[in-house]
Amino acid sequence: MRVLVVGSGGREHAIVWSFSRSAEVDKIFCAKGNAGIAELAECIDIGPEDVMALADFALERSIDLTFVGPENSLAAGITDEFESRGLKIVGASKAAAQLESSKAFAKDFMVRHSIPTAEHAVADSPEEAAAILNSGRFGSESDPVVVKADGLAAGKGVIVAGDRKEALAAVESLASGKIVSAEAAETIVLEKCLFGKEVSVILFTDGERFALMPPARDHKRIGDGDTGPNTGGMGVVTDPLLIDEDQRREIIDKIVEPTLEGARSEGSPVKGILFLGLMMTDDGPKVLEYNVRFGDPEAEAILVNLETDILEISRAIVEGSLGETIIQWKEGSSACVILASENYPSSPRTGDRIYGLESASKHENVEIFHAGTSVGDDGEMVTAGGRVLAVTAIASNLSNSLHRAYKAVNEISWPGMQYRRDIGK
């Protein structure tokens, strides 16, 4: 079997690592990959949105299965292109990817299918957004409101505003084109602010059947104690105790099943991965966002727990036979700590030499996934992005997995390295 993985971050390193453990996989390619991925796969220089070139490559090199990491590839229609050429691929179609690529589409979808989510309004201009805010529809001047750019914005398009004044400023700053592209913010979504604990529930699905992965919790802010700006994610823990059995049932009955059924009834079933960003409110679980891909670093924390061959799961997704596959996970818990460059997330410095990687990787039950690394002129590993490494450990419980992850983290260093000391706390 020849497998192609699309993407180049820590998530894709974890996906490549999972395929490398399959007895049936002979060769893995990754577009574009990174220095860590290059130890397991042949990296090819084609970007995730260049779907024509990726499909040409897959045909020329007789790829048996392609697995897509990032949303921009799905939103660009990679799945539709591959399927039209008879190529097998795990990932949502362009139509299904709208659940992630347009927040307005996702909110309207949830309303159509009575899926619990925050009350919202869609504005087609900053003036309209301001008028809606000033109308008092989202509460008084002192109430918090969430302001979101409609389009893909790599985690930067959401501002949780503390009051109306902040919300009006958030509308202005999104519309200015400075923090997200003007295109992504052409439409603005306003939402009532929800309160509770956040949980990421990710599932494999063939469009009809589904299998939940262990629940995960991301840590989005750069600083300890959830301070500072949002990032792509600074660390994730998985633990069965993040949700109880009743909550799990409620999530399935009120969210997972209506979402899959709703997508099918609209002629665009979600195949591949579905990621639910949930707020566990006093009034039950509510959807904050849909993604149609693995999270990053959720993938790093979750895939180390997977016991079943990812190739077998991928095949079942493609063939529509997921119901017949029993997916097994390790019992216990995992922790992933992201090591980031100086000045991440605003303007990360790159090119710093990374020390201690080899000894850290020798720790038992620890996997170090590369997010942004490359090989320097002297063959040494150097930083090459904002998020650099995802240090992941598994253990029988959360506190032991955290202990293991941080022990490995302590061996790694480079000038300006940043990480959160409070993941899982």
User: Which residues in this chain contact ligand GLY in the complex, by CB under 6 A?
Assistant: 218, 232-233, 291, 295-296, 298
Which region among 15-23, 46-54, 187-195, 358-366 touches ligand AMP (by CB under 6 A)? 187-195
Stretch that binds ligand AMP, among 12-20, 44-52, 190-198, 205-213 (CB under 6 A): 190-198
What secondary structure, in 3-state letters, does 98-162 show? HHHHCHHHHHHHHHHCCCCECCEEEECCHHHHHHHHHCCCCCCCCCCEEEEECCCCCCCCEEEEC
Residue number of the CB atom closest to ligand AMP: 289
Q: How far, in Å, CA of 257 to CA of 249, rounded? A: 11
Q: What is the CA radius of gyration of the chain?
A: 21
**Using CA atoms, how far apart are residues 99 and 215, in angstroms rounded to an integer?**
20
In the chain, how many H helices and how many E strands? 14, 22
> C-beta of 194: minimal distance to ligand AMP in Å?
4
Q: Taking the complex as a whole, how short is the minimal distance between the CB of residue 90 and ligand AMP, in angstroms?
A: 23
Q: What is the DSSP string of 266-325?
A: TT----EEEEEEEEEETTEEEEEEEESS--TTHHHHHHTTB-S-HHHHHHHHHHT-GGGP
CB 18 within 8 A of CB 5: no
Query: Taking CB within 5 to 8 Å according to partner kind, which of ligand GLY, ligand AMP, none is near residue 335?
Result: none
Taking CB under 6 A as the criterion, which residues in 116-155 touch ligand AMP? 118, 146, 148
Residues with Cβ within 8 Å of residue 417, at least 6 apart in sequence: 339, 340, 341, 342, 352, 388
Residue 233 interacting entry, from ligand GLY, ligand AMP, none, C-beta within 5 to 8 Å by type: ligand GLY
CB of 288 within 8 A of CB of 255?
no
Tokens 């022990």 found at: 407
Residue 194 touches ligand AMP, criterion: CB under 6 A: yes
Piece of 34-42, 166-174, 191-199, 259-267 that binds ligand AMP (CB under 6 A): 191-199
Q: Tokens in use for 164?
A: 């109306």
296 binds, among ligand AMP, ligand GLY, none (CB under 5 to 8 A by kind): ligand GLY
Alpha carbon distance 189, 124 (integer Å): 9
**Residue 191 touches ligand AMP, criterion: CB under 6 A:** yes
The interface mask with ligand AMP, positions 339-368, x = CB under 6 A, is ------------------------------
Closest contact distance (angstroms) between CB of 289 and ligand GLY is: 8
Q: Please check whether residue 207 is in contact with residue 319, taking contact to mean a CB–CB distance below 8 angstroms.
A: no
- 158 contributes a contact to ligand AMP by CB under 6 A: yes
Non-local CB neighbours of 243 within 8 Å, separated by 6+ positions? 199, 201, 215, 251, 280
The interface partner of residue 83, options being ligand GLY, ligand AMP, none and the CB cut-off 5 to 8 Å by kind, is none
160 lies in the binding site for ligand AMP (CB under 6 A) = yes
Q: Judging by beta carbons within 10 Å of its beta carbon (0-12, 13-18, 19+), is residue 312 exposed, middle or buried?
A: middle
Q: Which of ligand GLY, ligand AMP, none binds 193 (CB below 5-8 Å, type-dependent)?
A: ligand AMP
* Minimum distance from residue 243 beta carbon to ligand GLY (Å): 18
Tell me which residue of 211, 218, 251 sits closest to 233, measured CA to CA.
Answer: 218
Whose tokens are 């045909």? That residue is 59
Measured from the CB of residue 152, what is the shortest distance to ligand AMP in angstroms? Answer: 10
Residues touching ligand AMP, count (CB under 6 A): 13
Helix axes 126-134, 164-175, angle to 10 degrees: 170
* Binding partner selected for residue 158 from ligand GLY, ligand AMP, none, CB under the kind-specific 5 to 8 Å limit: ligand AMP
Mark 250-289 with x for binding to ligand AMP (rule: CB under 6 A) and - for no binding: ---------------------------x----------xx
Give the shortest CB-148-to-ligand AMP separation in angstroms: 6
* Residue 9 CB, nearest approach to ligand AMP (Å): 17
Could you tell me the smallest distance in angstroms from the CB atom of residue 120 to ligand AMP?
Answer: 8
Shortest separation between residue 288's beta carbon and ligand GLY, angstroms:
11
Kindly state the smallest distance separating residue 89's Cβ from ligand AMP, in Å: 25
Chain residues in the site for ligand AMP (CB under 6 A): 118, 146, 148, 158, 160, 191, 193-194, 198, 220, 277, 288-289
